[in-house]
Amino acid sequence: MSNRLWTEEAVRLHEMFVAGKVSCEEIVQDHLEHLAAVDPGIGAFLHVAADQALAQAKEADRWSTEERQMRPLSGVPIAVKDNIVTQRMPTTAASRMLEKFYAPYNATVVEKLYAAGGILMGKTNLDEFAMGSSTEHSAFHPTRNPWQRDRVPGGSSGGSAAAVAAGMVPIALGSDTGGSIRQPAAYCGIVGMKPTYGRVSRYGLIAFASSLDQIGPMARTVRDAALLYHVIEGPDARDATSLPLTASPPTRSGPWRIGVPREYFQEGIDPRVGDVIDRYLRRLSDAGHEIRDLSLPHTRYAVATYYLIAPAEASSNLARYDGVRYGFRCDARDLVSLYERTRDEGFGPEVKRRILLGTHALSSGYYDAYYLTAQKVRTLIRQDFDAAFNAVDFVVAPTTPDVAFRFGERDDDPLKMYLGDIYTVTANLAGLPAISLPAGWVDGLPVGVQWMARPLFDNALLDAAQAAEALMPPFQFPQEVRE
Ligand code: GLN
């Protein structure tokens, strides 16, 4: 049957399944067929768990209406970024280092998906260990942007973003250390949210930079992102940085005071992206919201700060891949050459670059100049936002300075790639919740706008995002995947 179930939102699929209008098996089958038709040209998945998904669906079809209702994701196919560990599927982090790795446990978020009745369709592609902005650094294959196949989908959650934009799944999990949910969401024309640091358990997320990493939802609509977010949020005894679920602060229904940081429109922004955001802001003011100019003066240091702190933490987190404990291992005559050869052959060039950068920044004699200074600037960046949120309810800015670029365009210029992260790394450094929403188009490529809120105001952020979404035309699939 082809009801084009794959075009439906997660909330709709769930409703239809609960109402008995469609079986879970039909939903999963339709998505698997669509996936098989379009993914060969896109490469969003590293592993498709067709048999497991169908078995899960058959089990769900035996549930009573009440059981279906109790589980908010029953009837909903989901993809999971392949740096989130799954017991019954491989977890590679898109690295040779973990090529044949099966985790002995499920990440907390994965347990929550299962408990909520969600159907796990498989694992999506990423930049190796989530280090990158294009998914070109996957050790296995690149992922193509569903809107223009010669363009990158963004990264590092490029597989999840492309899978959602192309209708292979309605919702997916990504992870965001410096923009890896929001930037690919922007490049693929979908919604992607990085929750407040501590809102979602990191237990079972393969660590990149532990003080910055958060898991979050990606979807085609805000209400689908909210559905997934509410399933995964909450405290976890296995993650010491997870926060208690305090009652969320009351949401005002608007009009809001919206702050627009002028530093996010300065050097480096593609003027066509700037124009799209200007038009977007006019829509907001026409809808009655107050738009205020504001300054986040330390923005100019954000990229440098992030590219010291993230690699420093990565160099420590990645020390565990030594050829003894996990996955890949080289034959060697002695222990030292075992370590050396395993790490030399197991890690790709971008990961090595980060380890070198981070080890240097932490080394004695340089620690104060680099790592410690970066931590101090991180505090200044957080203070910029504290001051901003004394005056406004939300900060709204472009998600990226540009639209999806071509394969290879930034491959040999890491600095150029890093500079593209300027608008997203700040929310991670400050621990804020932030969401990227579709804002318009430049030459057939999507432009994203980012909404940021005070820490713990995730619900308020989602409510505002949903109201703002209503000012824009609804999501439409790329021509090539419409069949
Ligand atoms: N693009 C950024 C980087 O390369 C962010 C990655 C991420 O958020 N995982 O580090």
Q: Which atom of ligand 1 is closest in space to residue 180's alpha carbon?
A: 8
How high is the pLDDT of residue 252?
Answer: 72
First to last CA, the chain: 15
- What is the rounded CA–CA span in Å between residue 131 and residue 203? 19
Degrees (nearest 5) of the Cα angle 235, 237, 243?
A: 30
Q: Are 46 and 82 in contact (CB under 8 A)?
A: yes
Report how far ligand 1's centroid is from the alpha carbon of 178 (Å): 5
pLDDT(147) > 90: yes
How high is the pLDDT of residue 1?
Answer: 43
Spatial strand order in the sheet of 257-261: 45-48, 119-124, 77-81, 171-176, 214-219, 191-194, 434-442, 445-452, 394-398, 257-261, 290-294
* Mean pLDDT (whole number) for 332-338: 92
Report how far ligand 1's centroid is from the alpha carbon of 324 (Å): 27
- What is the rounded CA–CA span in Å between residue 178 and residue 176? 6
How high is the pLDDT of residue 6?
Answer: 98
Burial bucket for residue 270 (CB in 10 Å: 0-12, 13-18, 19+): middle
Residue 266: both structure tokens together: 């300065």
Residue 447: both structure tokens together: 């432009």
- Give tens-digit pLDDT for 1-30: 457 999 999 999 999 999 999 999 999 999
Q: Which atom of ligand 1 is closest in space to residue 176's alpha carbon?
A: 8
Q: Which atom of ligand 1 is closest in space to residue 310's alpha carbon?
A: 10
Residue carrying structure tokens 């109402």: 19
* Mean pLDDT (whole number) for 42-56: 98
Which amino acid is located at 99 in the chain? E
* Mean pLDDT (whole number) for 360-366: 93
- Give tens-digit pLDDT for 434-446: 999 999 999 999 9
Pocket test for ligand 1, best of 126, 129, 156, 182 (most atoms within 8 A of CB): 156
How high is the pLDDT of residue 248?
Answer: 67
Pocket test for ligand 1, best of 125, 131, 428 (most atoms within 8 A of CB): 131
Pocket test for ligand 1, best of 133, 187, 212, 429 (most atoms within 8 A of CB): 133
How high is the pLDDT of residue 250?
Answer: 65
Kindly report the pTM of this predicted structure: 0.97
- What is the rounded CA–CA span in Å between residue 365 and residue 362? 9
**Cβ < 6 A, ligand 1 pocket:** 130-133, 156, 176-180, 208, 310, 421
Report how far ligand 1's centroid is from the alpha carbon of 239 (Å): 21
Report how far ligand 1's centroid is from the alpha carbon of 27 (Å): 33
Atom 5 (ligand 1): residue with closest C-alpha? 178
| Residue 155: band (very low, low, confident or very high) from pLDDT cuts 50, 70, 90 | very high
User: Please, what sign has the CA dihedral across residues 422, 227, 187, 388?
Assistant: negative
Spatial neighbors of 88 by CB under 8 A, at least 6 apart, are 49, 52
How high is the pLDDT of residue 130?
Answer: 98
Q: Report whether the peptide linkage leading into residue 156 is cis, meaning its omega lies within 30 degrees of zero.
A: yes
Q: Are 3 and 26 in contact (CB under 8 A)?
A: yes
Hey, what domains does the chain have and what are their CATH numbers?
A: 1-295+395-483 (3.90.1300.10)
Q: Which atom of ligand 1 is closest in space to residue 177's alpha carbon?
A: 8
Spatial neighbors of 108 by CB under 8 A, at least 6 apart, are 201, 203, 204, 236, 238, 239
- Give tens-digit pLDDT for 198-234: 999 999 999 999 999 999 999 999 999 999 999 999 9
Report how far ligand 1's centroid is from the alpha carbon of 132 (Å): 5
- Which SS3 state, helix, strand or coil, does residue 172 take? strand
Q: Which atom of ligand 1 is closest in space to residue 130's alpha carbon?
A: 9
Q: Are 227 and 171 in contact (CB under 8 A)?
A: yes
Report how far ligand 1's centroid is from the alpha carbon of 213 (Å): 9
Q: What is the mean pLDDT of the chain?
A: 96
Please give the positions annotated as active site.
Answer: 81, 156, 180
- What is the rounded CA–CA span in Å between residue 84 and residue 78? 13
Spatial neighbors of 267 by CB under 8 A, at least 6 apart, are none
pLDDT(338) > 90: yes
| Residue 253: band (very low, low, confident or very high) from pLDDT cuts 50, 70, 90 | confident
Atom 4 (ligand 1): residue with closest C-alpha? 132
| Residue 114: band (very low, low, confident or very high) from pLDDT cuts 50, 70, 90 | very high
Report DSSP state, residue 263.
G
Residue 121: both structure tokens together: 């369709």
| Residue 327: band (very low, low, confident or very high) from pLDDT cuts 50, 70, 90 | confident
Among 267-271, 273-277, 334-338, 362-366, name the most confident range: 273-277
How high is the pLDDT of residue 474?
Answer: 97
